[in-house]
Amino acid sequence: MANLKWKTPRSKTRSRRAANWKLGAVTTVQCPQCHQPKRPHFACANCGTYNGRQVVKVQDEPAG
Ligand SMILES: [Zn+2]
């Protein structure tokens, strides 16, 4: 393999490695029951339903 003429500068290496560390925004869809945003393929955090049936007990008001 041919030799590289210049080594990759430290700044370029570090910049490349730093480009992928941030987390993106969480994808949400609207809950068909309560119309609150929820994560797709997850039970709704607000009403506790998934696919039209209750799968998680819902507390009235989370303490704290
Ligand atoms: Zn819901």
C-alpha 14 to ligand 1 mean position (Å): 43
Residue ranges covered by each domain of the chain: 25-56
Q: What is the pLDDT of residue 36?
A: 94
Q: What is the pLDDT of residue 52?
A: 87
C-alpha 33 to ligand 1 mean position (Å): 5
pTM of the predicted model over 0.75: no
* pLDDT tens column, 9-64: 999 999 999 988 888 899 999 999 999 999 999 999 999 999 989 988 877 765 55
SS3 of residue 38 by DSSP: strand
3-state helix, strand, coil in the chain (%, to 5): 15, 10, 75
Q: What is the pLDDT of residue 34?
A: 92
C-alpha 43 to ligand 1 mean position (Å): 8
Q: What is the pLDDT of residue 31?
A: 94
Query: Residue 19 is which amino acid?
Result: A
